[in-house]
Amino acid sequence: MAERSALAPAKVNLFLHVGPVDGDGYHPLASLVAFADVGDRIAVAPSDRLSLGVGGEFAAGLEGPGDNLILRALRALGEAAGIGEPPLAVTLDKRLPIAAGLGGGSSDAGAALKLARDALGLDLDNGALADIAGTIGADGPMCLHARTAWADGRGDRLTPEPRLPPLPAVLINPGDPSPTGEVYRAYDAGPPAGADRPRPPQSWEVATVIDWLAGQRNDLQAPATARTPAIARAMAAAARLPDARLVRMSGSGATVFALFDTPAAAAAAARRLSENHPHWWIVRTNLG
């Protein structure tokens, strides 16, 4: 069996409407989730035991292999398949920032589950893998499928949305982490919003979709920027970019995305922003 590898794409919440916490400690939400063409890289190779090696630009920010969602997901896969720990050497090339609102850990786990299933020839379809992915967190199933979808409930009720066109975008992370738990606690301390799901746009042309998204919101943006002022600075810098049509934070932060009408406009904006902020993580991408 040769080494297999796959992209674990960044997840972006194009909007995120969040309701008050329920009796079980969960927040209902409504979101339109898209995936970028950038992300971490996962590889698996045959071995005599399960192991994880981590490298890449942001490897130092991880808590350690023992806490990694990849290992938790693969151990759950082995239990579900009745094989014990999968005998695989896994390598994570960590290219996405940590605590960035991009679903990095869940996306890594989703890619690893599919690679391990195929490498070991396990008779498990994507639905079965999604059930396993759900055990590591609410983002697990959506990141395993890694395709544009409406997310409702706790983020686990997914409706694919194939009509979303590729949205030219720039992703911007100023380098300060935004821990999800702390952001939700700050959100809970303020007036609650609602997990309302809007009607779809009248058409799915890029300009119309961006206009429609401008009428939505990210309910975690205010508490996240209050906790991490660098997010507000990144949003302000993005808003000053020529031709930027919409600027919003993704998930619980700290990554900001800016949308443009054309890939050329997004590429020019990314170059300009990188010159002005050389220490920020800035990439041009297509969402969806």
- Are the C-beta atoms of 212 and 164 separated by less than 8 Å? no
Residue 64 corresponds to which tokens in the numbers above? 């350690």
d(CA 10, CA 34): 9
Query: Residue 109: which of 44, 31, 171 has the closest Cα?
Result: 44
**What residues contact residue 243 under an 8 Å CB cut-off, 6+ apart?**
260, 261, 265, 268, 269
Query: Residue 259: which of 168, 157, 151 has the closest Cα?
Result: 168
- Are the C-beta atoms of 175 and 249 separated by less than 8 Å? no
- Are the C-beta atoms of 260 and 168 separated by less than 8 Å? yes
Mapped onto helix, strand or coil, the DSSP state of residue 19 is coil
Q: Which residues are catalytic?
A: 11, 139
**What residues contact residue 59 under an 8 Å CB cut-off, 6+ apart?**
92, 94
DSSP calls for 109-126: HHHHHHHHHHHHT----H
Query: Residue 254: which of 184, 186, 171, 178 has the closest Cα?
Result: 178
- Are the C-beta atoms of 68 and 52 separated by less than 8 Å? yes
